[in-house]
Structure 1
């Protein structure tokens, strides 16, 4: 397992543990690269779905393709 795979595995572990311990959680999502990676990791951690609500954070930076992807 290389360094990136270990980081990914640890991130998935943290997401699962947070969900297990906290129960009611939510995730902020701005459609930006960082929050989209977090969403991707969450879907990977929970076998293809996100078990908690996403809250869209409007950063006022509008790129039409991002809004289309969101909708």
Structure 2
């Protein structure tokens, strides 16, 4: 039998620069948004992230899609 993966959860993680510290290093903050539909297209997640970028008034440094899968032997 072949193992099969089933998507359980998806989250969107936004990482953005929030200034510099006393040593001149970039301060990177992140915000996680859980309960993203597991069927959401990458482009849709990207579009939503760009809207959050506008609301935050910060430039996104990185956008991460985090999928959690369950694996069964079916």
* TM-score > 0.5, shorter chain as reference: no
Q: Per residue, is there more helix in 1 or in 2?
A: 1
Q: TM-score, normalised by structure 1?
A: 0.30
Q: Which structure ranks higher in relative contact order (CA pairs < 8 Å, sequence separation ≥ 6)?
A: 2
